[in-house]
Amino acid sequence: MQPPDALDEPLAPTGGLAFTVEEGAAGQRVDAALAALADVSRSQIKRWVDEGRVLVGGRAVRASRLLALGETIEARPLEPVALSLEAEAIPLVVLFEDEELIVLDKPAGLVVHPAPGHPKGTLVNALLHHCRGQLAGIGGVLRPGIVHRLDRGTSGVLVAAKTDLAHRGLAEQFALHSIERVYRTFVRGLPRASAGRIDRPIGRHPDDRQRMSVRTRAGRPSATRWRVLGRDRAQGISALEIQPETGRTHQIRVHLASAGLPVVGDVVYGRARGEEALLGRPALHAARLGFDHPRSGARLCFDAPLPPDLQSLEDSLALETDDDD
C-alpha cells in the first residue's frame, strides 16, 4: 500500500482504514477520495470496491458513489503478501547502535524497504544481514525494523528499531511530531525573505497518480519551515535548511516546487535542467535527526555531513548570506 519512495512519514500498522469525510472530499466519488486519503492508486481502490472491501456508513458502495460531509469511509484491504526477504551484505554507515535501535547515514540511491519489483538490494535487506535475526517481526514482515522512510534519492540520517519497544516508542514520537528533523537542500531560485513557512495540503496529483501535489481537493494537512543559508545570485541557486512539521510523501520537494523554489536535480517536481539532472537525484539530504531513546528517555541527536555529490555542488556555488548584504 505504501509508495516505495515515500518521504519520512511514520508507517501505519497493517489493518483496516477509516476516514471521516471533510470539506475537501465532500462531493467526490468514493474511489477518487479514498485514493487520496489512503495514498493508494485509484485502480487498487477499485479492486477493493469490487470485492466489497469499501464501506460508507457501514454499507458496501459503488466506486462512483458521491460522498457527503461527515460520512465515514472504511476500507478493509487484503493483508499484503509477504515477500521472501533475504539478508544481504550491503555496506552501512552506522552512526549509533545499541540493543534497541540503529541509526544510519543512508546513501542516495538506496531504497528503504522491499516492494514488488524491487525485492532485493534495499536497506531492509542490509539490516537483516547486519542485525542477524534481531528484526524478526519488528514492525511487520514487509518492513522489519522500519519506522520512517527517506526517498530513494534522499541521503541522510535514518533510525530503525531492533525491538518492539523501540518500534512503538519511535513510531509514537513520529506521530506526535516530537522528532527533530533538519534537512539541507539546494533550490533553483532566490527567496526574498530569509525564512518562511509553507502550509499547503498535499495529496495525489489530479492528473498524474505517480506524483503528489498541492493542487488537490483531498490533501492532507502539511507544513514545512525553511531558512536561507546562502544565495548564489549569479547562478540563481539558494542553499536552504528545511524543517518539516509533518511527514507527507515527497513533502519537501512538493512544497518547495509549489513556492517556486524547485529542488536542484529533481526531474519529477523541479523540471531539472540538463546539467542539474546529471546529479542523478534531488539535492536533498536529511542532515539531523533527534529523538528520545525509547527505553532510557535520553535525548539523542545525530548529524550526517553532506555527501560528496552535494558537497561538490555547494563548493561550486558562491553563496552569500544575508549578513554579506
pLDDT digits (tens, 9 = 90+) for 200-212: 999 888 777 678 8
Indicate where the chain has its CATH 3.10.290.10 domain(s).
17-75
The two beta strands, 299-303 and 72-75, are: unpaired
Looking at every residue in the chain, the average pLDDT score rounds to 86
Banded pLDDT at 295 (limits 50, 70, 90): very high
Distance of CA 152 to the CA centre of its chain: 10
Highest mean pLDDT among 145-154, 212-221, 297-306: 297-306
Indicate where the chain has its CATH 3.30.2350.10 domain(s).
182-286+311-324
What architecture does CATH give domain 182-286+311-324? 2-Layer Sandwich (3.30)
CA nearest neighbour of 301 among 291, 310, 309, 286: 291
Q: Which residues of 269-308 are buried (b: 16+ CB within 10 A; e: fewer)?
A: bbebeeebeebebbbbbbbbbbbbbbeeeeebebebebbe
Burial of 94 (0-12, 13-18, 19+ CB in 10 A): exposed
Tell me what percent of the residues of the chain surpass a pLDDT of 70.
Answer: 87
Catalytic residue numbers read: 151
Does the 17-75 domain belong in CATH 3.40.640.10?
Answer: no
pTM of the full structure: 0.77
Residues of the chain by 3-state class (helix, strand, coil), percent to 5: 20, 25, 55
Q: Give yes or no for a contact between 260 and 200, defined as CB atoms under 8 angstroms apart.
A: no
CA nearest neighbour of 172 among 12, 1, 281: 12
